[in-house]
């Protein structure tokens, strides 16, 4: 099994005819993802290397059976793209677009959440289920199929830890980049809950960073609701207070939201926290060995 995307994913790329949408949509297809359609208003009837382009998402659902949308449209159109996908009956929406204003994402979140839609992003690398499906910009070649779930706020750290795991002979069930914006479509808890229910996943790695309190809330969820072991890494131990580091959501004030505070909260709930990606991978290898 896998979470969020798998062999049953039928993908529509909103923005397929743009340079980024085309490049990554074709890369996803080359990996084996079932890319059934693209959407660009006014360009219906065209195709991108054999992938049909429609004017609306509703048409891709009706004519191509799309059930998952990958959004590559510019920030000023991204919220409307999400609404269109959801209203067309798409069940999973993955938003790569960055620089979407937080107040727009608040409206999107409150519209999408009650409908039971899985939304990943915005400002995220997407989701990869190795050996099955890649939806987004994750470099699938550095990952291998296995039993380790990985959820992260950081794209590049996701790639690094995945690479470190492969060097130790380990692989991933699914990799989910939830993005680093203040208002994400899915939280750590949302994804951890999916990994807990996934039969392929035996252990989970959570990659957090400074800012907010999502890692602290996840720590309590892990303590109270997770039966599978969880290991973690927190980026930003050297970040100065009050300074945004990389992501819009990565800002700290005083001791709140610091890497040290998050590390202490996780460890208090029984989650071991590595200080480098390499150390995290080794902790995973040790945990897998101990369970063997």
Q: At what angle do helices 188-197 and 214-225 cross, to 10 degrees?
A: 30
Selecting among 63, 99, 103, 247, the annotated active-site residue is 247
Which DSSP state fits 198? -
Strand partners, 37: 12
Burial class (CB in 10 A: 0-12, 13-18, 19+), 116: exposed
Alpha-carbon gap, residue 197 to 113, rounded angstroms: 20
Pairing of strands 145-152, 203-209: parallel
Residue 247 falls in the annotated catalytic set: yes
Cα–Cα distances (Å) from 203 to 18, 22, 40, 206, in that order, read 38, 34, 40, 10
Beta strand ranges found along the chain (DSSP E)? 10-14, 34-39, 47-48, 51-54, 68-71, 92-95, 118-120, 126-129, 133-136, 145-152, 172-177, 203-209, 230-235, 272-274
What are the residue numbers of the active site?
247
């Amino acid at each position: 099994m896998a979470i969020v995307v798998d062999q049953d994913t039928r993908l529509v790329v909103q923005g397929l005819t743009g340079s980024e949408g085309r490049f990554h949509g074709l890369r996803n297809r080359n990996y084996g993802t079932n890319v059934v359609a693209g959407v660009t208003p006014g360009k219906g009837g065209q195709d991108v290397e054999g992938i049909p382009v429609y004017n609306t998402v509703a048409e891709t659902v009706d004519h191509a059976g799309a059930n998952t949308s990958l959004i590559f449209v510019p920030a000023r159109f991204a919220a409307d793209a999400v609404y269109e996908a959801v209203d067309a009956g798409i069940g999973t929406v993955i938003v790569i677009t960055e620089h979407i204003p937080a107040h727009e994402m608040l409206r999107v979140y409150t519209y999408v959440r009650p409908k039971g839609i899985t939304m990943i992003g915005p400002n995220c690398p997407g989701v990869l289920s190795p050996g099955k499906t890649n939806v987004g910009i994750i470099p699938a070649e550095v990952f291998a199929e296995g039993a380790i779930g990985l959820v992260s706020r950081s794209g590049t750290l996701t790639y690094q830890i995945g690479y470190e795991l492969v060097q130790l002979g380990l692989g991933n069930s699914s990799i989910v980049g939830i993005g680093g914006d203040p208002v994400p479509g899915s939280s750590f808890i949302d994804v951890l809950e999916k990994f807990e229910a996934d039969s392929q996943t035996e252990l989970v790695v959570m990659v957090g960073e400074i800012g907010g309190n999502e890692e602290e809330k996840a720590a309590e969820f892990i303590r109270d609701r997770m039966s599978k072991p969880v290991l973690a890494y927190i980026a930003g131990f050297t970040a100065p207070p009050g300074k945004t580091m990389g992501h819009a959501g990565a800002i700290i004030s005083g001791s709140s939201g610091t890497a040290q505070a998050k590390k202490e909260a996780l460890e208090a709930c029984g989650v071991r926290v590595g200080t480098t990606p390499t150390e995290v991978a080794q902790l995973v290898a040790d945990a897998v060995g101990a369970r063997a």
